[in-house]
């Protein structure tokens, strides 16, 4: 089986990647500023809604219903799309999906295609696959374009260039577009606009993802804020949409919930600026050929896990990234995948499906379990619970390790209070390592703590010893 490109080839484990990222002071500044701003704006946008908690519950329930009926709803979607003149393709994995899209591009003799920002195509490594097949994919979302022109990797689901500030963006544009431009946001946007407009008007094939697909009408929905998506979805002759099989909603009415939840959670907007909806092909209006590529790529396997499957509710809003204290320090690239942050820590290992992989196995531990992600998730994914669930699977996959032996010993001690008391007394001898009431250096693995933190000297008398003496 081919490697699942959801993780980037050669990515180090999370602690190693974080080691590098944490030392990048520019990155730290950019992230602190960006996440701090969006966090405050989201909180304000959500506070306006009196029924927010009910909307979250509705979002959760609709998505759970979809996951429970995915087999029949997908067939219904295929029938609806086909009836309206679209063609539906099914792809088991990334390799199959990429081959389908490349063949479709070749059938149109396309050497260049424009793209609407899409997580599904990033997940399967479509751009690289197309390039290998002689087709150039041009990203048209501003942040995605910055990443593409910078030969960089995305670091955020919604704002892939969140790790870049405007002077870095100016440098990338000057180098790759061959233009003189200032670092004023309006000038940078104008440079991108001029560069992209030519592409929109000359390119015959567009590729998009989908935020939602309505099973009973066959309508596909894309939300974006720049208008580039609208251009891609209306100007070219052929439109290819690549979509994960979990992106369904049963009926048109269900969109009402998500069109409220998603904008406020992701961009802190009350209403999404550009919401494009199309149903198959409309003669004389928009693309005259429409292909829908449905990808599994680990989703069916994820669905079999009764705890882990809630990750498939995700609507890719990024709220969990923006509030995550780990993400704020390490940035998205440390997660080694197109899905960073808390959702990435639970989704990536499941899509990879192999917890003996050291990089995937490190992701569920990339969290202090503070719970800020669960609090903001618009579809109520209990990320901390899935993290501990996946950690248990990692432990099982790894088998016997130094850690597992130590943990077994600790559990044995804790099972009997007599053993625990003996260990407590032995441990209290560590007070002789202390100077001025603190221990500043311990041998490994304690050194992982004392590298930056002192340990208080254990007292000579534990509480239970005191209780026994005075109250027992």
Partner 1 sequence: MKVALFATCLTDTFFPETARAVVRLLERLGCSVEFPLDQTCCGQMHFNTGYREHSKPLARKYTEVFGGYDHVVVPSGSCAGMVREVHPTLGESPPRTFELAEFLVDVLGVTDVGAWFPHRVTYHPTCHSLRMLGVGDKPLALLRSVKALELVELPGSAQCCGFGGTFAVKNAETSTAMLADKMRCVLDTGAEVLCAGDNSCLMHIGGGLSRLRAGVRPVHLAEILASTEEDPWRATP
- Report DSSP letters for 49-101, one per residue: -TTHHHHHHHHHHHHHHHHHTHHHHHHHHHHHHHHTT-EEEEESSHHHHHHHH
Contact 362, 334 (CB under 8 A): no
Among 51, 184, 354, 461, binds partner 1 (CB under 8 A): 461
Indicate whether 422 belongs to the interface with partner 1 (CB under 8 A).
no
Considering beta carbons, is residue 182 or 417 the nearer one to partner 1?
A: 417
- Cα(393)–Cα(360) distance, rounded to whole angstroms? 12
Helical pair 166-177 and 185-202, crossing angle rounded to 10 deg: 40
CA nearest neighbour of 315 among 265, 384, 355: 265
> Which DSSP helix (H) or strand (E) runs through 135?
none
- In the list 182, 194, 253, 368, the residue contacting partner 1 (rule: CB under 8 A) is 368
Give the β-pairing of 219-224 and 238-244: unpaired
424 touches partner 1 by CB under 8 A: yes
Shortest CB 456 distance to partner 1, Å: 6
Cis before 445? omega within 30: yes
Query: Which DSSP symbol is given to 2?
Result: P
Return the residue of 109, 271, 463, 469 that touches partner 1, per CB under 8 A.
463
| Pick 82 or 462: Cβ nearer partner 1 | 462
**Cα–Cα distance measured from residue 321 to residue 326, given in angstroms and rounded to the nearest whole number:** 9
Binding of residue 189 to partner 1 (CB under 8 A): no
* 34 forms part of the interface with partner 1 (CB under 8 A): no
Binding mask 311-330 for partner 1 (x = CB under 8 A): --------------xx--xx
> Could you say whether residue 369 binds partner 1 (CB under 8 A)?
yes
Size of the site for partner 1 (CB under 8 A): 65
Which of the residues 373 through 412 are near partner 1 (CB under 8 A)? Answer: 374-375, 388, 391-395, 403-404, 407-408, 410-411
Nearer to partner 1, 38 or 88 (CB): 38
371 binds partner 1 (CB under 8 A): yes
Closer CB to partner 1, residue 256 or residue 375? 375
Q: To the nearest whole angstrom, how small is the minimum distance from the Cβ of residue 362 to partner 1?
A: 9
414-429: burial string, b at 16+ Cβ within 10 Å, e else: eeeeeebeeebeeebe
Provide, rounded to whole angstroms, the least separation between the CB of residue 171 and partner 1.
Answer: 27
**CA–CA gap between residue 107 and residue 90 (Å, rounded):** 18
| Helices 417-428, 402-415: inter-axial angle, 10-degree rounding | 120
| CB closer to partner 1 out of 8 and 365 | 365
Q: Please name the residue ranges forming H helices in 124-207.
A: 126-132, 142-149, 166-177, 185-202
Interaction between residue 427 and partner 1 (CB under 8 A): yes
Q: How many other CB atoms sit within 10 Å of the CB of residue 301?
A: 15
CB of 459 to partner 1, least distance (A): 6
Candidate list 203, 367, 378, 383; residue touching partner 1; CB under 8 A: 367
In the complex, minimum distance from the CB of residue 316 to partner 1, in angstroms, rounded to a whole number? 23
* Residue (111 or 468) nearer to partner 1, CB: 468
**Judged by CB under 8 A, does residue 437 bind partner 1?**
yes
């Amino acid at each position: 089986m081919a490697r699942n490109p959801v993780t980037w080839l050669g990515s180090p484990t999370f602690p190693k990647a974080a080691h590098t990222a944490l030392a990048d002071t520019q990155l730290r500044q950019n992230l602190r500023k960006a996440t701090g701003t969006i966090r405050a704006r989201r909180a304000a946008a959500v506070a306006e809604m009196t029924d927010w908690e009910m909307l979250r519950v509705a979002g959760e329930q609709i998505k759970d219903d979809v996951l429970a009926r995915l087999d029949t709803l997908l067939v219904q979607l295929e029938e609806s799309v086909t009836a309206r003149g679209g063609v539906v393709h099914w792809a088991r994995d990334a390799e199959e999906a990429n081959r389908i899209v490349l063949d479709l591009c070749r059938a149109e003799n396309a050497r260049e295609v424009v793209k609407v920002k899409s997580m599904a195509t990033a997940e399967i490594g479509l751009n690289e696959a197309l390039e290998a097949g002689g087709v150039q994919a041009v990203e048209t979302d501003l942040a995605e374009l910055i990443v593409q022109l910078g030969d960089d990797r995305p670091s955020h689901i919604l704002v892939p260039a969140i790790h870049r500030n405007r002077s870095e963006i100016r440098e990338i544009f000057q180098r790759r577009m061959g233009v003189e431009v200032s670092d004023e946001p309006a000038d940078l946007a104008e440079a991108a606009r001029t560069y992209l407009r030519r592409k929109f008007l000359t390119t015959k094939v567009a590729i998009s993802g989908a935020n939602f697909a309505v099973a009973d009408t066959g309508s596909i929905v894309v939300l974006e804020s720049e208008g580039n998506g609208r251009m891609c979805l209306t100007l070219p002759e052929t439109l290819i949409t690549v979509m994960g099989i979990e992106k369904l909603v049963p009926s048109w009415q269900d969109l009402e919930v998500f069109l409220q939840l998603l904008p406020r959670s992701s961009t802190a907007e009350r209403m999404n600026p550009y919401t494009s909806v199309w149903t198959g092909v409309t003669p004389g209006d928009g693309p005259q050929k429409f292909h829908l590529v449905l990808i599994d790529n680990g989703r069916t396997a994820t669905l079999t896990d009764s705890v882990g499957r809630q990750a498939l509710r995700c609507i890719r809003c990024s709220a969990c990234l923006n509030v995550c204290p780990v993400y704020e320090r390490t940035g998205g690239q440390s997660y080694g995948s197109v899905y960073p942050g808390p959702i990435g820590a639970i989704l990536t290992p499941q899509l990879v499906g192999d917890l003996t992989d050291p990089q995937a196995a490190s992701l569920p531990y990339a969290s202090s379990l503070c719970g800020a992600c669960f609090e903001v998730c618009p579809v109520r994914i209990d990320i901390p619970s899935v993290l501990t669930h996946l950690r248990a699977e990692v432990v099982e996959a790894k088998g016997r390790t130094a850690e597992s032996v130590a943990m077994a010993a600790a559990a044995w001690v804790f099972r009997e209070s007599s053993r625990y008391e003996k260990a407590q007394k032995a441990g209290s001898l560590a007070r002789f390592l202390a100077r001025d009431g603190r221990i500043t250096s311990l041998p490994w693995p304690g050194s992982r703590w004392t590298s930056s933190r002192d340990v208080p000297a254990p007292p000579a008398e534990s509480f239970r010893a005191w209780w026994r003496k005075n109250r027992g």
